[in-house]
C-alpha cells in the first residue's frame, strides 16, 4: 500500500520525529540543522579509519546525509536506527569510491573545487590539490592489508612492534605493505624515519 513504510511481518517500527515525512529535502534540512542527531560525523570518521579508506570525511558525511534523508523518506523505519545509519555511511563510501574512479578514468585531474579540499593529503602529506582524487583512487584500489598498514603506522601513529603483534605479518611483510601504500601516493619513507619507527623511542 502506498505510504505504508512499516516493516513486513506485522512488526511496525516508527521513524524518530526528525526523520519523518516523505520529503527528503525537508528531512535533510532537519538533519543538517539539529546537531547531528545520527552522529554521522563521528561515525563517518571512525568508519573510514576502520575500513582503511582514503576519502575526505566531509565528502562522505555530505553523501551519507543525503542517503539518510532519501532513505527516511522512502524506506520503512528500521528495527535498529544505528545499524541503518552505519549502512548508509558504507553506501556513501562505496558510491564515492566508484564515482572517483570513474571520473579519474574519464577526466584525469579535472576536479570540482570542493573535491580539492582534502587536508590529510594536501597539508599532512603535501600532495597537490589538483591530484588528490588521483591519489585517493590509487590508494583505495590497494589490497586491504596494504591500506591497513598505512593507516595503522602513518595515520594512527602506532608502534611497529604493536602493529606486527596485532596483524598477520612480520616486519619484512609489513615494510613491503607500507612501501606499496606510499608508492600509490608517490611518497617514500625516509631511512631515518623508518629506522626510528623500527627501533622505537
pLDDT one-digit tens code per residue, 60-72: 999 999 999 999 9
Distance CA 47, CA 8 (A): 30
Q: What is the pLDDT of residue 176?
A: 95
- Is residue 199 packed enough to be buried (19+ CB in 10 Å), middle (13-18) or exposed (0-12)? exposed
126 within some domain:
no
Q: What is the pLDDT of residue 1?
A: 37
Q: How many CB atoms lie within 10 A of CB 164?
A: 14
Q: What is the pLDDT of residue 39?
A: 95
Q: What is the pLDDT of residue 11?
A: 59
2 within some domain:
no
> Both 22 and 112 in a single domain?
yes
Question: Pick from 45, 44, 43, 54: which is nearest to 147 by CA?
Answer: 54
> Both 109 and 147 in a single domain?
no
Expressed as residue numbers, the domain containing 159 is 142-199
> Both 146 and 96 in a single domain?
no
127 within some domain:
no
Q: What is the pLDDT of residue 114?
A: 78
> Which whole-number Å values give the CA distances from 126 to 13, 118, 184, 186, 187, in the listed order?
48, 10, 14, 11, 10
Q: Which residue positions in the chain have pLDDT lower than 70? A: 1-12, 189-201
- When divided into structural domains, the chain yields a total of 2
Distance CA 200, CA 196 (A): 6
> Both 98 and 26 in a single domain?
yes
pLDDT, tens only, 166-175: 999 999 999 9
> Which whole-number Å values give the CA distances from 62 to 36, 46, 114, 135, 164, in the listed order?
12, 15, 12, 21, 35
pTM of the full structure: 0.86
Q: What is the pLDDT of residue 35?
A: 87
Distance CA 42, CA 87 (A): 14
Q: What is the pLDDT of residue 34?
A: 79
Amino acid at each position: 500500500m502506498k505510504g505504508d513504510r512499516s516493516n513486513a511481518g506485522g512488526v511496525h517500527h516508527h521513524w524518530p520525529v526528525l526523520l519523518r515525512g516523505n520529503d527528503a529535502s525537508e528531512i535533510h534540512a532537519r538533519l543538517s540543522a539539529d546537531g547531528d542527531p545520527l552522529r554521522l560525523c563521528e561515525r563517518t570518521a571512525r568508519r573510514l579509519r576502520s575500513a582503511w579508506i582514503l576519502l575526505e570525511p566531509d565528502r562522505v558525511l555530505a553523501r551519507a546525509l543525503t542517503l539518510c534523508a532519501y532513505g527516511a523518506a522512502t524506506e520503512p523505519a528500521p528495527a535498529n536506527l544505528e545499524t541503518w545509519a552505519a549502512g548508509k555511511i558504507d553506501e556513501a563510501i562505496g558510491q564515492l569510491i566508484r564515482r572517483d574512479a570513474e571520473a579519474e578514468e574519464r577526466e584525469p585531474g579535472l576536479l570540482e573545487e570542493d573535491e580539492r579540499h582534502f587536508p590529510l593529503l594536501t597539508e599532512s602529506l603535501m600532495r597537490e590539490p589538483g591530484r588528490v582524487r588521483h591519489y585517493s583512487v590509487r590508494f583505495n584500489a590497494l589490497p586491504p592489508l596494504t591500506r591497513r598498514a598505512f593507516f595503522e603506522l602513518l595515520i594512527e601513529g602506532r608502534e611497529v612492534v604493536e602493529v606486527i603483534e596485532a596483524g598477520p605479518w612480520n616486519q619484512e611483510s609489513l615494510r613491503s605493505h607500507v612501501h606499496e601504500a606510499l608508492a600509490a601516493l608517490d611518497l617514500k619513507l625516509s631511512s631515518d624515519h623508518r629506522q626510528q619507527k623500527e627501533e622505537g623511542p
